[in-house]
Amino acid sequence: MGKLIVSLSPHAHGTDSVERNMYGVIIALMPALIVSLVLFGIGSAIVCATSVLACVVFEWAIAKYILKSQRTTVCDGSAILTGLLLGFNLPSNLPVWIIIIGALVAIGVGKMSFGGLGSNLFNPALVGRCFLLVSFPAQMTSWPQAGQLTSYLDAETGATPLSVMKWAIKSGDASVLEQLPGSLSLMIGMPDSCQAGAGSLGEVCGLALLLGLAFMLWRKIITWHTPVSVLLTVFVLSGLLHLSNPAYADPIAVLFSGGLMLGAIFMATDYVTSPMCGRGQIVYGVGIGLLTVIIRNWGAYPEGMSFAILIMNAFTPLINTYIKPKRFGEVTKK
């Protein structure tokens, strides 16, 4: 007769794991990475490689020599993902030493100071990105045009679609928006009359990012609640602004400009810093969309996605407190 083993729940185990999900997100980022290599060449390769390597080294060093941890976490994919996302939020001509500082802040301040993976309050890659934006504004807002394979060495820079939109709002002149590329160019990142491919290296091709979204939804790495609520909120609010005043860009152009797609799909959906249940994720996503529209149109910066996500990261514990999933077996009182 076999032994009867009594153990604590849960008794049913799935194949889900931190490593599986982290590397799944990394795979989802590959289309955008390939496009960035095609559009920005050596600059994209240097920025991404430096960012990933620095994040991995800093996480290993901090865990081993500062936190004195016996367990290394560099193989779970989280440091690689943080480095890749940080690189995606940087211009392709950013000096290596600035990238290393950003990686140190992302890992050391944004992640490990809270206790490591699963304990951080804010998205580490965005912590690093916003620190660099505040500390090195000139270097962080120098955007090489797409199509320059040696953009790290001799890049020609200029205005981005978001800066064109910002100028149209400030001047009140809707004709300024004629400088914007067509919707197809914004979607695929190919430059035309304006710098459709100008911006951070991971945000210029909306189609590649949408392919990543489809992959993650298919693999059930994320749910639809956060990305859809962010994008839908921005679309509706931008559409209302455009109808009220043509100086505001049309919602399609807004969706495919700047880091909106990258943020909504890959940054706002971070497991640790976003709400646990679907209803909470919708509230969270609507908040991000609202703040993004406000900052983009009336704030000091043309882009507001990073700040919007970090602000809503701070509200995640509050959302989790007041919006909870129904407990298993709970009977609703009538």
Written in H, E and C, the secondary structure of 175-236 is HHHHHCCCHHHHHHCCCCCCCCCCCCCCCCCHHHHHHHHHHHHHCCCCCCHHHHHHHHHHHH
What average pLDDT does the structure give for the chain? 85
The span from the CA of 215 to the CA of 202, in Å, is: 17
Consecutive H or E run containing 284 = helix 278-298
Is it the case that residue 168 has pLDDT exceeding 70?
A: yes
Of 15-19, 20-24, 75-79, 241-245, give the lowest mean pLDDT range: 15-19
Banded model confidence at residue 194, pLDDT cuts 50, 70, 90: very low
What local confidence, expressed as pLDDT, does residue 332 receive? 55
Bigger pLDDT: 74 vs 299: 299
At 310 the three-state DSSP class reads helix
pLDDT for residue 29 is more than 60: yes
pTM exceeding 0.85 = yes
Position 9 pLDDT exceeds 50 = no
Question: Has residue 41 got a pLDDT over 70?
Answer: yes
Q: Does 266 score more than 80 pLDDT?
A: yes
Q: Is the pLDDT higher at 6 or at 244? A: 244
pLDDT at 70 over 70: no
% residues pLDDT > 70 (the chain): 84
What is the three-class DSSP state of 150?
A: strand
Specify the pLDDT at position 235: 96
